[in-house]
Structure 1
């Protein structure tokens, strides 16, 4: 375990990175400006960075040692007509994707009433230049468009196609942190690792919230003719209550709805958790146990990693590594500082 003074220094530096990244917009489907922010952060510490369609790839001097992946898109709104706003991940263009059994599809019906009073800010597509703020006054699911529709005060002048991000700042209170953590927190973790000497490969992917990121990540592996069982996908993991989230610092998985993850890579993380004294659990086991008493079964989920493993018949596989949170898919997603410390300690064991 790290000494307390080292833990405090580690957290302070990490939170500085996270605070900076949170302020930058990255609405699903409009991640270009955030990719540029990541490139600058990585190149400042001497990391090789290459851009491909839908994915930014960072590589140190030992790129084959370890592969990390994290999607960098966040939920937001899209202007689709005169004073008309829809949930960006579920606009018609994205409904052709297979969203069956996805957590995102399930969750949209659970979060429709959470946004009243939420401040939002609009940005120019691609460049990310700020062009104005507004406030969400109402949100509801349209039965015809099958999407989450928003009424927003203050942004009636926007042109269709304009992305609108939640106005987001990191809040630290009572040993908890809150913001739209999914999944800027993972990008911040990877930046921190590179600053501390990580020399493996990291892939930052776009459009995970509409089910497309796995295609971009897979295309890079195929382009490079790489097969691996050591791909670790970082993300957050939703729990219904703070008590359930705090039952572990680290959330792992044996599998998702697509099939089994790499037993070897999963067991490697388990052993490192044990060595570091970190608490952990398996989300698939948690879901299966909860479904025994739920009136409406919760989907096991189709993760980015599971889609990649299924598409390659397991030639590219690994495991997921997630931070347990509450208030998933809102601007107030919350994680414990204990979980952040645990994730940092675990990832730093690969530096």
Structure 2
């Protein structure tokens, strides 16, 4: 299979998945979509609380992880809507050290005019469309508050997703990519013959996905340093294209597995794929700033801490701009590079 065809088929899958809602805290409908996709292949697919696990015939060879939730809104009162990831139930997760919190003020004004759609929390049944008139940070509730037209009839607890369609223009992919783009990449790997383990977790945007992952590894008494967590990584527009993929030695919580990080780095070198280390990038940036940026608290860092280092690995991320919006953008070149690198790392012969 040619490289162009390999990538175009993955993009076609991504285009389809993006249309399916998966607001954080209301992911059940997307879990069923994902399960239907995966059950087409000769693999084991099992659902756990907050987690769907797909395994080939070499499940211990590598563990790929991607979260399937996306940002959106939640109806919290009469014609009242809040950012779903930061509603009151998650208040204990907010201590000011997450990338999402530090971005809150920056993204507050990005949603004006954005079309949204409401759906039932469990079945995903379409309930109606509306438009965001205004969004702002409430200093008392420490959350993004949204004023909408057209959805005043909704009851509290109803999720509202951004009306999302994939755009492919000037060599770029644009949509709410975080993190359906990595879900699509993993499903496509199974199409190509991937035989390892893939874990799809809910609740990452609310800081909860690591709990589901930790429980699964502990349930089966699995100790490994072969976990590779996939995600998008935010950059300013002018910096996003400076590398094809993004690696990390560590996050704000501690170091990742050096051997696994070197394994991914060496794979990128062999394929001629350019990369940066996000922690090194942030440290260099902080040397020029009065107020330092956080290294971020990643799902993997939390997982390593929760298991006392018994479960470890590294991250592989897609560089994007316009993070946490419905216009998050990544280059097709980076998407293709990430797919080829994943094929190489997991011994899938196509694209190596």
| Bin of the TM-score, shorter chain as denominator length | over 0.9
Residue 45 of structure 2 is aligned to residue 49 of structure 1:
yes
Which residue in the other structure is 2:315 paired with?
320
Residue 27 of structure 2 is aligned to residue 31 of structure 1:
yes
Which deviations, in whole Å up to 9, do the C-alpha atoms of 1:127-165 show, x marking residues without a partner? 101110000000011112111000000000111100000
Q: Is the 8 A contact 1:61 1:200 kept in 2?
A: yes
Which deviations, in whole Å up to 9, do the C-alpha atoms of 1:177-212 show, x marking residues without a partner? 100000000000000000000010000000100101
Which residue in the other structure is 2:285 paired with?
290
Which residue in the other structure is 1:246 paired with?
241
Residue 171 of structure 2 is aligned to residue 153 of structure 1:
no
Tell me by how many angstroms 1:98 deviates: 4.5
Gaps of 5+ in 2: none
Aligned with 1:278 (options 252, 273, 279)? 273
Superposed counterparts of 1:207-286, under 5 Å: 207-241=203-237, 243-286=238-281
Please give the secondary structure, in 1, of the residue aligned with 2:76: strand
Superposed counterparts of 1:41-190, under 5 Å: 41-190=37-186
Tell me by how many angstroms 1:99 deviates: 4.3
Which residue in the other structure is 1:197 paired with?
193
Tell me by how many angstroms 1:313 deviates: 2.1
Aligned with 2:7 (options 11, 15, 23)? 11
Distance 1:55 1:108 in 2: 27
Distance 1:218 1:207 in 2: 13
Gaps of 5+ in 1: none
Which deviations, in whole Å up to 9, do the C-alpha atoms of 1:230-261 show, x marking residues without a partner? 000000000012x3111110100000011110
Tell me by how many angstroms 1:295 deviates: 3.0
Distance 1:138 1:299 in 2: 28
Which residue in the other structure is 1:330 paired with?
325
Please give the secondary structure, in 2, of the residue aligned with 1:51: strand
> What's the TM-score, normalizing by structure 2?
0.97
Distance 1:266 1:323 in 2: 15
Tell me by how many angstroms 1:11 deviates: 1.6
Distance 1:147 1:255 in 2: 28
Which deviations, in whole Å up to 9, do the C-alpha atoms of 1:255-284 show, x marking residues without a partner? 001111001110001111111110011000
Please give the secondary structure, in 2, of the residue aligned with 1:298: coil
Tell me by how many angstroms 1:289 deviates: 0.3
Which residue in the other structure is 1:301 paired with?
296
Distance 1:276 1:13 in 2: 21
Which 10-residue stretch deviates more, 160-169 or 295-304? Answer: 295-304
Distance 1:93 1:210 in 2: 9
Distance 2:43 2:115 in 1: 36
Please give the secondary structure, in 2, of the residue aligned with 1:10: helix
Q: Is the 8 A contact 2:94 2:101 kept in 1?
A: no
CA RMSD of aligned residues (A): 0.9
Tell me by how many angstroms 1:296 deviates: 2.2
> What's the TM-score, normalizing by structure 1?
0.97
Please give the secondary structure, in 2, of the residue aligned with 1:49: strand
Tell me by how many angstroms 1:46 deviates: 2.0
Runs (4 or more) in structure 1 with deviation over 4 Å come to none
Distance 1:290 1:185 in 2: 27
Alignment: residue pair count = 346
